[in-house]
Amino acid sequence: MQISPPPGDPAPLGATSEVGRLSTVVLHRPGAELRRLTPRNNDQLLFDGVPWVARAQEEHDAFAQALRDRGVEVLHLDALLADVMALPEARTSLIAAAVDDPRLGATLRHATTAHLSGLAPADLAATLIAGLAHDELRGGRGLAYQVMERGDFVVPPLPNLLFTRDSSVWVGDQVAVTSLAMPARHRESTITAAVYAHHPRFSGAEQLYGSELEHLEGGDVLLLAAGVVAVGVGERTTPGGAERLARRVFARGLAHTVLVVPIAQERAMMHLDTICTMVDVDAVVMYPAVADHLQAWTVTAGEQLPDDDDTTELSVTGPQPFLVAAAAAMGIDRLRVIDTGLDPVTAEREQWDDGNNTLALAPRLAVAYERNTVTNAALEAAGIEVVPIAGSELGSGRGGPRCMSCPVRREPL
């Protein structure tokens, strides 16, 4: 199968802000991998419940259509993956990643490799995402295979692939393929890396980061302004990951300031974008319980930049209140804050339901879950047009519109 880029690709790939007009985005429509979730495994697979899959798909389809209705090109990750599975090098690397599991043992690993190698591109892509159960494996053999239960996974499913923001993030014209912290998500980065490396839509795109490096997740990375990047460190992203990213963006001229922002290491605040997202060039929607005491260390480069990305000298100052440090780095007087909720109870409920996790389509235009009525009303009162979407089933994985989208092309402000 020969794949080629679309004619007349409009503009360079990349993003320098959170709020520049969104042109192209990568989504993943939830599919068979969500049907693998059960009360027995949903915690291990990082879901708070077992979603109604058909309704989750309806909600996601409506999300994608809302983006298209506003001129955004939507690329689906499973389709991109199916395209590159026609290429031998990409097939080999992703099959190897799928069987790189000490549970399997040599015999079952070889049998699984043979099974996957025999699949057509679209079927292989679907299996890499949905996983492979014991009773679906043709030619299964070996001790590990014999002792498995019928419903056990030889290749585990990837239900969190729905949250395409986490496994990659664009900084300027380069893409950081991230290093995901939770074992259930490690293989997502191998899929994302293969798509960026092999699909013609991303031909020539330089990769800024890699899954073999310190833990760094895209939900913790906010592009506050051109040259200013905020990185949350907590449950998913380590200080070492933030430091590595800072060195690389400085060495490559992609940013002049990185704000490192410690956040609570807990499920409700797993990423920086679960407590704060941008909705205008000078405005954020933010969980009020943390707004006043969130701190930031300001990281800048030394005077001389070496040729080696990872030996850039860093200057670290702080900490300062995050809102103060952010405004100073952005060159503005202050960063406007729109609170999640109204009272402490409503704020806590709407933060849990991803009221902070908005996706800006342009300055003062943002997608948000419709259920967060108080936060959405506050956004509207502050001059932010809200595009409401349903998320009663999508939200069971603890992610909102920003989590479910990876912008690959935004217009500069």
- Which of 16, 56, 62 is closest to 367 using CA atoms? 62
pLDDT for residue 345: 59
**Is position 102 within any domain?**
no
- Which of 29, 79, 26 is closest to 54 using CA atoms? 29
Which residues are CB-neighbours of 315 under 8 A, at least 6 positions away?
299, 300, 301, 302
Predicted confidence (pLDDT) per residue in 194-210, tens digit: 999 999 999 889 999 99
**Is position 310 within any domain?**
yes
Predicted confidence (pLDDT) per residue in 345-363, tens digit: 565 654 555 557 899 999 9
Flag the least confident range among 183-197, 239-253, 337-351. 337-351
pLDDT at 262 > cutoff 50:
yes
3-state secondary structure at position 390: coil
Q: Rounded to whole angstroms, how far apart are CA atoms 341 and 344?
A: 7
pLDDT for residue 336: 94
Q: What share of the chain is helix, strand, coil (3-state, %, to 5)?
A: 40, 25, 40
Predicted confidence (pLDDT) per residue in 21-30, tens digit: 999 999 999 9
Flag the least confident range among 69-78, 175-184, 254-263, 307-316. 307-316
Count how many domains the chain has.
1
Q: What distances in angstroms separate CA 77 from CA 10, 62, 163, 397, one per listed residue?
A: 20, 17, 11, 18
3-state secondary structure at position 316: strand
**Is position 6 within any domain?**
no
**Is position 10 within any domain?**
no
pLDDT at 6 > cutoff 50:
no
Q: The pTM is what?
A: 0.89
- Which of 50, 60, 5 is closest to 29 using CA atoms? 60
**Is position 35 within any domain?**
no
pLDDT for residue 142: 87
- Give alpha helix (H) positions in 40-177: 53-69, 77-84, 88-98, 105-117, 121-130, 143-147, 164-167
Give percent of the chain above pLDDT 70: 88
What is the pairing mode between strands 221-225 and 228-233?
Answer: antiparallel
**Is position 321 within any domain?**
yes
Neighbours of 245 (CB within 10 A): 29
Q: Rounded to whole angstroms, how far apart are CA atoms 236 and 98?
A: 22
Q: Rounded to whole angstroms, how far apart are CA atoms 169 and 355?
A: 21
Q: Which of the four pLDDT bands, split at 50, 70 and 90, describes residue 389?
A: very high
> Could you tell me if 160 and 181 are in contact, meaning their C-beta atoms sit under 8 angstroms apart?
no
The domain of 250 spans 160-410
The reply to whether 403 belongs to the active site is yes
Q: Which of the four pLDDT bands, split at 50, 70 and 90, describes residue 4?
A: very low
Annotated catalytic residue, options 53, 403, 406, 408: 403
pLDDT at 49 > cutoff 90:
no
**CB burial class (10 A; 0-12, 13-18, 19+) of residue 337?**
middle
Taking only Cα atoms into account, the Rg of the chain, rounded to an integer number of angstroms, comes to 21
Q: Which of the four pLDDT bands, split at 50, 70 and 90, describes residue 254?
A: very high
**Is position 202 within any domain?**
yes
Flag the least confident range among 312-316, 329-333, 352-356, 400-404. 352-356
- Which of 274, 242, 269, 271 is closest to 255 using CA atoms? 242
Phi, psi angles (nearest 5°) of residue 115: -60, -50
**Is position 353 within any domain?**
yes
Which residues are CB-neighbours of 372 under 8 A, at least 6 positions away?
340, 350, 353, 354, 355
Mean pLDDT of 322-333: 96
Q: Rounded to whole angstroms, how far apart are CA atoms 109 and 142?
A: 9
Which residue carries 């804050």 as its tokens? 337
CATH number at residue 360: 3.75.10.10
Size of the chain in residues: 413
